[in-house]
Amino acid sequence: DLSRAELMMMAIADVINQLVEAHEQGKYINLNKPSALPRLVDVIAAVPPHYRRALVPKLKTKPICTASGPTPMRATRARYDPHLQTRHRVEQLKQLGHSVEFIVMGETFMALAEEY
């Protein structure tokens, strides 16, 4: 029986072979369609050196939002008060010279006090 690491390496090698084949045929590569993939760092590490420049940019992912990002930090500073968060953000954008158009979407505000 093959170990988990060996199976993972085989899966990664297969993904890379498919990427190389698609690249050579000029086909569109969509990595969001498969339901399960090995870790992206493992896939990138397995790309042959002479294909790195062509394939690695196609393997980039979207950044992950974290609790230390700007929006969660603004919410924390405003003690999670939506009115305060919004007011401070609009003021900040105006100070930066942006024109601000405010659109209220959703129905959460309906649960708040009428004065809000």
* Span 23-80, pLDDT tens digits: 999 988 777 766 666 888 888 899 999 999 999 988 877 767 677 788 888 888 888 8
Is 56 within 8 Å of 31 (Cβ atoms)?
Answer: no
Domain-wise residue ranges, the chain: 4-59, 70-111
pLDDT tens readout for residues 7-36: 999 999 998 998 899 899 998 877 776 666
Burial-class residue 86 by CB neighbours within 10 Å (0-12, 13-18, 19+). Answer: middle
